[in-house]
Structures are given as C-alpha cells and as structure tokens.
Chains A and B, each alone.
Chain A
Amino acid sequence: MSSLQDTVNPQDASSYDSAAGVHRREAVVYPAARGEPKLWSLGGTLAFGVLMITGFLILVLWNGIATFWPKPIAVVTLADGKIVAGEQTREELFKPTADQLAKLTPQLRAVIAKDDGYATRRLYRTGNFDFYGDDSKWVADYDVAKVDYPRDMVLAERREWGPFVGRLKAVVLDGVERPVTDPSEGWVRDALGQAQARLAQIRKLERDEIGGINHKLEQERLALRRVLLKSGADSAAYGEAQAKFAAREAELKKQYEALSAEAQALKGRNERDRIILTEVGGAEKSLPLSVIVRAYDANDIGLGAKLAVYGSRWAEFLTDEPREANTEGGVMPAIFGTFAMTVLLSLIVAPFGVLTALYLREYAKQGRIVAFVRISVNNLAGVPSIVYGVFGLGFFAYILGGSIDRLFFPEYLPNPTFGTGGLLWAALTLAIMTVPVVIVATEEALAAVPRSMREGSLACGASKWQTIRMIVLPRAMPGIMTGLILAMARGAGEVAPLMLVGVVKLAPELPIDGYFPFVHLERSFMHLGFHIFDVGFQSRNSEAGKPMVFVTTLLLIALIAIMNATAITIRNRLKKKFAGSQF
C-alpha cells in the first residue's frame, strides 16, 4: 500500500533512501492523534483521585496518632500583658477583620496588607474551663510579645472540667500540706495511685455491689407487678406477694446502707487528699487528688516519660468509659457496642444470605422470576441505608417490639422493653441492609463451582443436600466468607440507620453483663460511628472533642480496614486451598 502511495505522489516522502531505492517512512504521529493533552487530563484525574485518598488517610492517621502525644506547654505573653498558657494545637492563616486591624499599629497593618490581608494565628488548648469558660484560645501572631516554655508548667487531666494547665503548688496528704512542683516525684505519684485505687474501689462498690442490689430490688418489684397483673389487686396471691416484697425490700435496703456507708467512708478519705494547682494568672485551685487522672510537667519530661503518657492515654481510650459528655476518657462501651452489633449482624445475615443464594442458585427454577428477583436483590444493595433505618424503626421496634412487649413484658409497660430501638433491632436492620451483599457474593461463589463436580457427586449417589454440603459449599466458602466480611464491614461503618434504631450517645449499661439473662438484646448501645457524629457535632464545643473524634475515626477506619483485609486474606487462602482440587 505504501508503494502505491509513493508512485502516486513520490515527492511526499519524507526521506528517500536512494541507495537502496526503497522508501522508508518515518513514524510520525501527529499530536492530535496522540492526544497527549487529553491523556494527561485523564491521568491527572487518576492522580487527583489517588492524592485525595492518600491525603485523606494521612490526615486521619496523622491526627489520630498525634493526638495523644504530650505536647509542650507554651506560655504566651501578649502585647497587652495578658498571659495565655496551653498546648499549641494548630495554626492557620486568617483574615483579620476591620475591627481587629483598626486596633493595630500602622507597621503591623502594613505587614498584614503585604500578605494579602492574611495573618497567622495559633490555637492554644488552655484548659481550665472552670476559670476561663472555654478550653482553647486563638492567639494572633501579631499580638504576641513573648513565648516561653517554663519547665515547671504542669498539665493535669481531670475527671471534671477538662485539663488544668498551670503550676503545681502543693499536695495535701490527709490534711498535711507538702509543697511540691514536680508531679513526677515518687511520693506524689504514689499518693495519686492510692487516690485512684480508692476511686476504683468506690466505683466498684457503687456500680457492681449497689448496682446489684438495685437490680435485685427491681426484679422483686417486677415480680410483684406480674402477680398484680395476673391475679388482680384484691387477690390473696397479691397480698402474699406484697408481704414478701416488703420483707425482701427491707433486707436489701439494709445491705444497701452498709455498702453505701462503706463507699461514703472511702469518699471522705479521698476528700482529704488534695492537690493545689495555680493557673498562670495566679488563681489557685484545690482539688481532691482522686479527680486527677494524670499529671505531668509537660516541658520537663523526657522521651520515655512522654511515651508512658502516650501509652497510658491510649490504654485509657481503649479500656475506659467516656467522661465529660464523651469528649474525654475512653470509648470502651462504643467499641463493645460496635463489636456486639457486628457479631450479631453476621450471625443473622450469614444463614439467611446463604439460604437465599442457595435457593436462587440451586433450588429455584431458573427463569424470568428468578432473573427479576436477582435484579431486585442487586437493587436492594443500592437502597439508601436510612430507608432501612426507617423500616427498622417502624416495623421491628414499633410493630414487632411493641407486640413482644405486650405479650412477654407487660409488667414493664408503659416503659418499652423491645418496643424501642435496641441492639437486636439494630442488628436486624443492618442485616436486611447487608443481606444483598451476601446473597450476591454467595451466588457468584456458587456459580463458580464447576457443574462437573456437582454432577460427579450426584452420580456417585449423593443426595442433593449432601452434594451441596460436601461439595458445593466448601468450594464456595471463600466467596461466601468474603461477602460476609464485606457485609460486616459495611454494617460496622454505617451510622445513619442506627441513629433511628437503637444507638445512643451514652448507654448506662452494656448489652452483656452479669445479670440474667446476661445478653440483653433489647438494650440500646453505643457505636464508634455514632460517637464520632455525637462528639463532633452535638457536644458542648466541638473544639474540645476534636482530638477524641480523630482518634475514634482512626479506630473505626482501622477496624474496617482490618475486616476488609481479613476478607481478602481468607479469600486468598481458601482459593489456594481449593485451587489444586479443581477437576
């Protein structure tokens, strides 16, 4: 073809090898054909996408990991003589308002004007909410006269009012005041440890033992009410039950009083050990030692001590209960709630999802109806989660739960038992939501099992169920597990439907405890995802809660990432296991 062209238009050739008498065309690709700019646009979108996700992950990781690291305490002297002390949390550029600018000197104004009207400001976490009415403060750089890091600054985390930033003045032990400035001194730490141990003991007394008595009392009361509902107020049985109840109540009350006195004694002891702190402005605060969670001299500790603080904060976060409207303390109940909900969800979703897929693939006659059902199942995977939440609230909690209450728990009414959001309903709702994921995955896995294996099994005389159980299901297991774990991951990260069917910001009791029947499916629970929403958006000030939210976010993402990674690992391992056994 090229020779034909050449004969038609010999001058057109770019080069002509006269010696060989052969035309050699150079490979020219015009820019428009190569489409380099368009290629770069496409590649740019991919790069942008990858940058988005990596940037996001780095942001979450960095903030999540750095949050608990003890930062130095800066003491900032402002131009007007005021002193601000606190950890610097972040800095940003901002545009000072006209009012703010008007107060500045002309030189400063000129500097700001040169920077397009922007100036830098830093956010200091000043703590001392009880003194300042706020726990962080923005300081513009142009206002700052001097920044120091005095070695005696102490950060004390408290059970109430958030952290205290200031200096340690003295520790009072059983009424005897001993001046001290370094909270890491041995005897101070010992005293703190003892106070905390006493506090733990008080909590144990109050929650476990007194709680146990209250639980028993409540059970007695309900038993009495059951008799009342069953045999009426005038019956002999009720009179008898009443007398029994009175005796029991008196007995429990006595126990309660003994325990309560014991707790009171410990509390009195804790009141006598105090710590005296001074804020940078000079104001003094005397607190019971037991209120202090931990205290350290932030500007004077070495790496080892910092690591210890960091570690103890993580430990507290993972194992303790939340404090201060969830903005401090730990998230143990939320971790527990998320875990319990996810396990329950998978217990529900696995059998039903697999059953449905088995039915669709192995039992139902393949035809129009099954094709339609399949489209619908795919479709349902795309239905918004909130719709399932609405369904769960209306159908499970109100209709099913309401009926259960009337039938089985009339003595609790009008307080709902199952007739409101709870763990069971949340798990059921999310199960319905995630069942399409399992169905689709299982069906695909079932379809991938070669027909020859089934036929071989049947030909050997196995029944249909035997074939499915022995041959098909084991081979489909990797796919089923993947689907199940993906469903769990989706369920664990979902918040919107849970807001309707049982998640609360603070659950007084865990869904599993030491009282019969031990697993309380009707209880509302805490959830990591909802914790993020609650602390970030509904707490007193979102600034105080932000560190907590970041750490919780990190935890949730890590949880989901682990689940996804497990799914992939299991799939790969099982695939390998069955790879050799294919016919």
Chain B
Amino acid sequence: MTATTESTGSAKPMRRRDKSTRKSVILADKAADTIIRVGGLGVILAVFGIMAYLVSVVVPLLGGGDVTDRIEHAMPAGHGPAVFEQVDDYRTMIAALSPDGAISVVHIATGTPLAAPTFDFAGGTVTTIGHTIANGDVAFGFADGKVRFGRLGFEAKILPANAVPAGLRGLDDHDLTDGKSVFRKVPGGQVRQLSLVATLDPAVEVSPGNAIRAIDLRIGGTVERPTRAFVTLDAVGGIKLSLSESRQNMMTGKVTLSTQSSTLPPLAGDLTGAQVLLTQKADQVYVAEKGGRIHRFDTRDFQKPLLAETVRLLAAGVELTKLGFLIGEQSLVAGGSDGSVSVFFRLPRDGVQSTDGRAMVLAHKLDPQKNAIVGIAPSQRSRLFVTADAGGGIWLRHSTSEQVLLKLRLPEGAGLITGLSLSPREDAIIAVTDHGRYYGFGIQAPHPETTWKSIFGKVWYEGYDAPNYTWQSSSGNDSFEPKLSLIPLIFGTIKAAFYSLLFAVPIAIGAAIYTSEFVHPRVRAVVKPTMEMMASLPSVVLGFIAALILAPIVETWISAVILAFIALPLGLLIAAHLWQMVPLATAMRYGGLPKFLLMFVAVLVSGVVAYALGPWFERLIFAGDLKAWAAGQIGSDVPFMALILTPIGFIAAAWVLDRFAPTLFKAGGRSHDRLTLAVQDVLRWGVLLVLGFLVALALAGILTAVGITARGGIVDTYVQRNTLVVGFAMGFAVIPIVYTIAEDALNAVPEHLRAASLGCGASPWQTAIWVILPTAASGVFAAVMVGLGRAVGETMIVVMAAGNTPVLEWNLFSGLRALSANIAVELPEAVKDSTLFRMLFLAALVLFVMTFVINTISEIVRQRFRKRAAQL
C-alpha cells in the first residue's frame, strides 16, 4: 500500500526504480500492528479482569455445602444398635458403642471392621448415655442407679517410616492396618498411626436403686487434677448434680475419686423421656420434658441450686424430641416432633420470671424438616451442626447465619437414625441407623457463616442482646465466633467521606471560584500549583501528621478548634464589611493582590482570636470542659444547639426581614454615599446575626425540650483519634482534587458569557454566581464526585488517624473503621481462602463498586459538561 508510484512521462528509457517496499518495513509494520493490538487489548482485559477476579474470590462465600463422596457400609454383625459414635480427626475410623458395651470400629472408606475392646459393665444394664461435644468423654447410667465414666477417643502418633511394624495389610490406596490401628503416609516421609483409645472408670453410686434415666457430663479442671461434673435424672424424678475430682497420690500413684452430690429442687410434671444438659462450668442444668417444657436450674451455688425458670420452648402440642448445645454452650438447639429446629440464647432480660434475671430467648428459627428431629450433632469448632429427622433427612445447618448448607437423605429403608456425628474437621457426617448400617457423607462447607443476610443484614450473635451489625473478625477465645458484617465498615467509610467532604468541598469550591474569577492570572499562576502540590503529598505522610501531631493538638485545643469554625467565617465577614467602608478609590486601587493578602491576614487573625478565646468559649458553650460535656456528664445542650442552628436562624431572619420590612436597612438606598451604604449593610448584617442567633436559641430550647439534641448524635464521647482529625487530614487529600477539577470547569466557561454579563452591568460577584457557576455546575459536581471517590478509597489516613473502631455512630468525636483501613490492617494476617480472606476481598469489591459508580457518574456528568461548554 505504501509503494511509491512514479510517473514516467518521458519516452526516454529510464532506469527502473525498485518500487516495492522493503520487507523489513512491512514486517515491522505488521509486528507493531500485532503487538500494539495484543498489548492494548491485553491491558484493557487485565484491567477488567480485576473485577472478575475479585468476584471469583468472593462468590464461594455465598455458596452452601458440597458432598464430596458418599459411602454406605454395614456395621459388624452381632452388635446392638449403636447409641454413641465417634469419628477421628482425619475421618479414617468410626467407633460405635452399643448399650451392652460392645465397641465396633470400622475403617470408614472400606467398611473393614477392626479389632476393638469391649467395655465390661459387669452385668449392669446401661439405661442412658451422655457425652461431651468434643474429645469423646462419655458417661453411662445404669439401671441400678450407678454411673460409670469412660472415654472413646482416638490417638494419632506420627512414626518415622522405618518404625512402622511389618506385616501390615492394605485397606485401600493409602491406608494400611495391623488389625487394630490404621497407618497412613503423611508428607515428610512419615507415617501416622491412628488407634482407638477406650477407657472405662469404676462405677460411682449416685441414686441407689433407681435407674438413671438421663445423664450429662462435662470435664473440667487441669490435666493433673481433672474434675468431672455430671447431672443425673433417675427413675423417680430425682435430679442430682455431682462433682467428682480424681486425685493421684504422689507416693503410691493410686487414684482416688471423691464425689459430692447436690440434689436439685424436685420438679412437678412428667419426666419420662426427659433429657438433661449441663454447662461446662456446671453452673446451669437444663431438664427438658418430652412434652416441650424446659426447666433451667441455676447451680452457681453448688450447695443451694435454684430452679431459675420453666419455659415452653416449642409451640403447644409439639414434643421436644432433641435438645443439645452448640460449641461454647451459649446456644441451645431444640428439635421438635414437627421437624422444627430453633436456637435459644440465655440472655439477661428485664422483668422476666426467673431468679437470675435471665431468660431463654428464641434467637434463630431455622427451616423446619419434614419429620420429627431425632438427632442433633454439633461441630467441635464452629456454630455448624447437623440435624437428622425420623424420615432419614440429614441437614447441615449453621446457627448464626440461619442457613441450611446441605440437605442429605438416606436411601429408602435405611432405618431410623440412632447415631449422628459431624467429624471434628467438619468434613464428614456419619449417621448410624438401627438397621445396623452406617452412612458417611464427605462434605465441604468452607464458609457456612456467611450469607447475603449475614454480611449486609442484622445478625443475632451469641451473647448479644438483639440482632445487630458487628464486625469482629478475631479474638483470643477458642469458642469465639467471627462476626463479619460489612455494614459497620461501609458506615465508617461513608462517615469519613461525609465529614471530610463537609470540610473540604466548601473550601475547594470557594477557592476554585475565587481563583478562577477574582484573582489576577499572575496570582493564579502561583496559587494553583501551590494548591495542586497538596495532591502529591503521600497519604502516609498526611496520616502520620494527622495522628501524631494534629490529634494531640486538636485534643488539647478542641474548644479553640471548634471556635475556629465559627471565628473564621465571622472574621472574614467582619473584614469584608470593614473593606466596604474603605473609600472607593482606595478599594479600587488595592482591590487586587493587596485585598487577597488582607484575606490571609483576616484568616490568620481569626485563627489567633479563636486560639485566645478557646477557654472562654469552652466555658460559655461547653460548661468549662468540652470532653465531659460531650460525654453528657455536665452542661446543657442548648448553647451548642443554638450555635449550629444559627445559620438557619440567620436565613430565616433574613427572609422575614426581606418580606416584611424590605426597606428597613435600605431606607438610605437613595443615598449614594458608599460609606453610608456600607454602614447600613453592616447594621443589617449585625441585626440579622443577632436575630438569627435568638431564633436559633429559641429553636434549640424547643428541640432540646422535645429531646432532639446534638449530644449522643453528632457529638459524643471524645477520643483522641477521631473523625474531626480524619476529616481535616483527608481535606489535604480531597481539596486539591476538587479544587483543580472545579477550577478547570469554571475556567472552561467561554469568555463571551462573562463579558456579556459584565457588559449588562452585573458585578463580578453577580456574574460569577449567576452566570459562571450555573454554566459550570456539572463540571463542579463532577469535581465533588471525584473528591468523594478519593475520600472513599483513602487508606493510610484512616488507618493511622481514625482509631479503627468499628462503631455505628455519627459522633464527630469518635473514630471509625473504614473498608480500606480494615483491608490494610487485616488482610496481611488472613489465612488464604479462609472466610475472613474472602470477606476482605468482598470489602475490596464493595469499595471497587462504590468508587466505580461514583467515578462513572462524575465521568458522565463531566462529558456532558464538556459537550455543553463546547456548544456555548
């Protein structure tokens, strides 16, 4: 295409020139073409890939659970129906216990039976079994009123590869057995040996002659001196709480068991088929009647147990078929004969009929199953649990998020589920049926605690009074439940952005208008780059200065700082009114730079005045101590309310004056003397100010009387790193951006509009405010939106200066925790692909979407403005 053509007009034979383009040029052109296209498109794709990637990380949060594999095998024959079963940490083995003491151990994956000991009950008949949530501690109640304790657990040993005994037979691809233990290769060339541990302690006499109907136990104390608390219900309705402590004699090594019991107040009612539950500290005992009533005993005083309350948990006519704790024992799960599953918290409530001021409160009503609930198996590490119904349905649920993660069903004819357990690592559910079969489901539910509702809605966490929004991702406590609501963080972001824009936008736009319309181009050439220099200050520097320099100063001089917000505008207005009195000739002569410099003086003088009058102001408005005042300890709300209402009062007074006495301070309008006019103006202004304040005072009195106050709302308890400081520091980041864009927009207004307006006799002020600003309004709006985008995403300033407390209050004097700061603080510590990790990605996505929306709006508005400006 680029071959040059040459006209060969003359007839004379010419040397032919090579007209073809050199190959290298064509090649280079093609290469450049391809590289630029691929590179360009690649960058654009990469840029859009970010969002896709963030979404891909976040999506699993909202997923439920998956079944990875299913198995079904028969239990070894010859055993009675299992009443208690345990799965090991690596879901290799299952151990099931029959009421006659026989233990069957099976290799889960293959169903191969392994050798196991038998509990020798010496002829006793087990009437009931109780066990702990974790660790496999179990208690047996006997028909003769005796109680025995045991443990059915697992022990894992890591062996070097050469210490593995010979003669093992293979079970499947990776497991070997010697008939009793299972050996599995683990990384590092080692082998893990997993064996059953089954121990049985001697019998303890609890209620002689009366069969034990229900029992529950908890293990406490230390490893050296374990204590065992257990509660028993016997055939005649006697409920006993016992504590037993085993002590080892240092000399003989003999273990002595000392047991003391306390009889709980007797209950009226039918206790057949009742269940008992005990808390870890043995301070609460629950007795659940089959009929649905539940009796709660307060056993904090072991010697004097009290019946704290009796309540009906389920609807009338519904039997309580299963009751159990979740880990942490703050949640009580009740399963009903109608398939309902509800979670109750024990919470302090006013005016309840209980001895300890607490009541059982229905916190979560979960989706019901079709048939009566026959099994509840809690997780050992989270609020996950499994419920089984009489129809063979097995549901994996999460208490806090109220979601059902998996709905499994046993095949027809599988029989009734008698044993149900969730493996310690939450990766398998095992159900044993009365037909002597067991069913295993390998499951995956990596993020059970998050749903749309739990992330963005109110969630009722354990121990909380009511549902609320909370962000608390970690704690030192084991049974702690992460609270991952993004609302406090989004709120923090909005709060920081709102207050900083409240401070920055008036300054930025005011400065932009003044720069664009009222200063000499030479002044502008100095002032604009100075302001823009602010934009290049690294935010970490701003954060450092704000938190370590500014915050202590603001704390010491807080009343002066607040006064400055009043003194600065007031000082400027006074200066302006004084300037009006200057003779016209002087005013014209010094109207340029000197006047601008005088404004600097006015600002500085006002600042100094605010500094000097700070203590006086504090006495006047804040009863002498702002912090105590803000915390609501001293003083009255009225003065401060009047202060913030004064602008409204001023506007109202001005409106009234204009409407009803328009000539009051314009009587001299016939006079053309500049000084007279100026004096009239200042009088009018002064009167309006006083009137405005009086109106505001009256209004403040009324509002305070009806209970609408600033305290507890926008001002409350003072902390050093607060929103005021953040707003000021963020001002440094936001002002230059808004200023530059707004100034450019104002400057882009065509000169002929300005000239026309001035030519019609409008003053520069009138031109600026009625002609230029409306024309550039969309550009100025776009500037504000860009500033908002910056404020929303700013990270280091909020990390350093905002105190990072996730509170939901508009208090100007308290800190906040913004999305961005939260990511910066928590992501380096978050485990890859954990729920917190994905939540932080979600926080980033929310931030991304927020700024994307804000920026798109501003971009569209700006483009519209450009088009309009071009048409003018």
Contact = CB atoms under 8 A, between A and B. Distances in A.
Interface of A: 14, 26, 28-54, 56-57, 59-60, 92-95, 116-118, 233, 351-353, 355-360, 362-364, 373, 375-380, 382-391, 393-395, 398, 432, 435-436, 439, 458, 461-466, 468-469, 489, 492-496, 499-500, 529-530, 532-533, 536-537, 542, 546, 549, 553, 556-557, 560-561, 564
Interface string B792-825: 1111100110000000000000000000100110
Given A34-B763, A46-B514, A462-B2, A355 B681 contact: no
* In the complex, the 5 A-B pairs of residues with the closest C-beta atoms, listed nearest first: A384-B793, A359-B40, A493-B538, A35-B765, A45-B510
Nearest to B830: A393
A53 B731 CA distance: 11
B533 A53 contact: yes
A56 B2 contact: no
Interface string B500-524: 0000001111110111001100000
A462 B1 CA distance: 10
A93 B859 CA distance: 48
Given A352-B39, A383-B851, A556-B541, A46 B510 contact: yes
Contacts of B3: 461
Contacts of B669: 30
B851 A533 contact: no
A116 B615 contact: yes
B743 to A, nearest CB: 10
Contact of B573 (A32, A37, A436, A532): A37
B569 A44 contact: yes
A395 to B, nearest CB: 5
Contacts of A492: 538
B541 A36 contact: no
Given A47-B596, A386-B795, A386-B844, A553 B541 contact: yes
A464 B33 contact: yes
Contact of B538 (A360, A495, A499): A495
A40 B800 contact: no
B455 interface: no
Given A44-B569, A51-B600, A363-B40, A28 B541 contact: no
Counting chain B CB atoms within 10 Å of each CB, which of A14, A56, A375 scores highest? A56
A45 B766 contact: no
B330 interface: no
A113 B45 CA distance: 68
Contacts of A386: 793, 795, 820, 823-824, 844, 847
Most chain B CB within 10 A, of A26, A387, A465, A495, is at A387
Given A355-B35, A382-B786, A557-B538, 18 more contacts: A30-B669, A37-B576, A40-B572, A40-B602, A41-B569, A56-B534, A60-B541, A362-B36, A363-B33, A378-B859, A379-B859, A382-B789, A391-B54, A465-B28, A495-B539, A495-B795, A500-B824, A561-B536
B41 A359 contact: yes
B856 interface: yes
B685 interface: yes
Contact of B54 (A35, A48, A117, A390): A390
Contact of B40 (A358, A378, A432, A533): A358
B732 A56 contact: yes
Nearest to B526: A50
Contact of B518 (A43, A358, A432): A43
A42 B531 CA distance: 15
B575 interface: yes
Nearest to A436: B47
12 contacts: A14-B672, A35-B765, A41-B576, A44-B569, A46-B599, A56-B534, A359-B39, A363-B37, A383-B851, A383-B855, A496-B796, A553-B544
B83 interface: no
B166 interface: no
A524 to B, nearest CB: 12
Contacts of B794: 384
B796 A47 contact: no
B604 A51 contact: yes
B848 A387 contact: yes
Nearest to B531: A49
B689 to A, nearest CB: 11
Contact of A359 (B36, B616, B848): B36
Nearest to A397: B832
Contacts of A39: 514, 518, 576, 765
Given A52-B732, A432-B47, A557 B541 contact: yes
Contacts of A118: 615
A466 to B, nearest CB: 7
A556 B538 contact: yes
A493 B543 CA distance: 12
Nearest to A95: B556
Interface stretch (B298-306, B545-553, B708-716): B545-553
A546 B549 CA distance: 10
B531 A53 contact: yes
A359 B47 CA distance: 15
B678 interface: yes
B523 to A, nearest CB: 10
A45 B796 contact: no
B746 to A, nearest CB: 12
A49 B734 CA distance: 11
Interface residues of B, number: 121
Interface in B731-783: 731-732, 735, 739, 762-763, 765-766, 769
Interface string B187-202: 0010000000000000
B538 A45 contact: no
Contacts of B841: 390, 394
A54 B29 CA distance: 52
B422 interface: no
Contact of A40 (B579, B731, B828, B847): B579
A44 B530 contact: no
A35 B40 contact: no
Most chain B CB neighbours (cut-off 10 Å) among A28, A45, A364, A557: A45
B372 interface: no
B651 interface: no
A529 B533 CA distance: 18
B643 interface: no
B4 interface: yes
Nearest to A554: B541
A385 B143 CA distance: 70
B55 to A, nearest CB: 11
B248 interface: no
B115 interface: no
B799 A463 contact: no
Contact of B856 (A233, A375, A489): A375
A26 B531 CA distance: 40
B820 A33 contact: no
A379 B766 contact: no
Nearest to A35: B765
Given A51-B604, A363-B33, A537-B800, A34 B545 contact: no
Contacts of B511: 42, 45-46, 48-49
A355 B824 contact: no
Nearest to A391: B50
B48 interface: yes
B505 to A, nearest CB: 10
Contacts of B513: 42
B155 to A, nearest CB: 26
Nearest to B606: A44
Contacts of A462: 2
Nearest to A493: B538
B105 interface: no
B548 A536 contact: yes
B615 A117 contact: yes
Given A14-B672, A31-B580, A557 B537 contact: yes
A344 B418 CA distance: 65
Given A35-B769, A494-B538, A383 B793 contact: yes
A176 B855 CA distance: 74
Interface in B27-53: 28-29, 31-33, 35-37, 39-44, 46-48, 50, 53
